[in-house]
Amino acid sequence: MFTGIVTALGRVAAIKDGPVRRISIDSPYAPESFELGCSVSHDGACLTVVAAAPQGVGARHDVEVSPETLARTTLGAWTVGTQVNLERALKVGDELGGHIVQGHVDGVGQVQSREDADGWMRLRIAAPRALAPFIAEKGSIAVDGVSLTVNGVEETAFDLMIIPHTASVTTLARLQPGAHVNLEVDVMARYAARLIDFRPAGTPP
């Protein structure tokens, strides 16, 4: 479980292909803070740490990424040098600064437009049609693991206003029209929609 508040920027240091792709990430985290098997959000995708060791002033940790994850997220496009939004798993008692994020990417969106003014960044992102019902104005959404508020919705596209601080401490500042991003809709919206749709047998519509 995560909150969508990015705590570090990582960099892809190595990629090793096989039945399961193994990716090494350099980050400023203390190496002793990793326990094998712990969960870390990488651009919004929850991955399990399978190895960790000191690297420079931080750590290098390895994750294994299944073909399913590669097919359903932007992780398949990572190359050595790619910057990655990182967030450690939420602990009991931590401040819930964003919203509840599971680290389960629901789909990949595409940046349609970007406008910059006075340090602010306005993005319009096209979401897969299946996700559109779960995206609401003033609701929450995770974009590449970053908790954001939806400012407006038009059919399958939605608008975001990125404050200067968020742009400076995440990878969102690099986004340009055509870029693909991982999307996770608000879990509360997903369950609310399921409750509305589900009717026991024999229940009148």
Is the four-CA dihedral 90, 92, 96, 97 of positive or negative sign? Answer: negative
SS3 label, residue 170: coil
Mean pLDDT in residue range 9-19? 95
The residue type of 148 is L
Percentage of the chain exceeding pLDDT 90: 82
pLDDT at 89: 94
pLDDT at 190: 72
Among 29, 8, 73, 28, CA closest to 47 = 73
User: At residue 135, what are phi and psi to the nearest 5 degrees?
Assistant: -110, 115
The residue type of 92 is V
Mean pLDDT in residue range 163-169? 95
pLDDT at 120: 92
Mean pLDDT in residue range 116-122? 92
What domains can you pick out in the chain, each with its CATH number? 8-88 (2.40.30.20), 107-194 (2.40.30.20)
Cα distances from 67 to residues 44, 73, 113, 118, 180, in angstroms, run 17, 10, 30, 41, 18
pLDDT at 156: 95
Cα separation, 29 vs 26, whole angstroms: 9
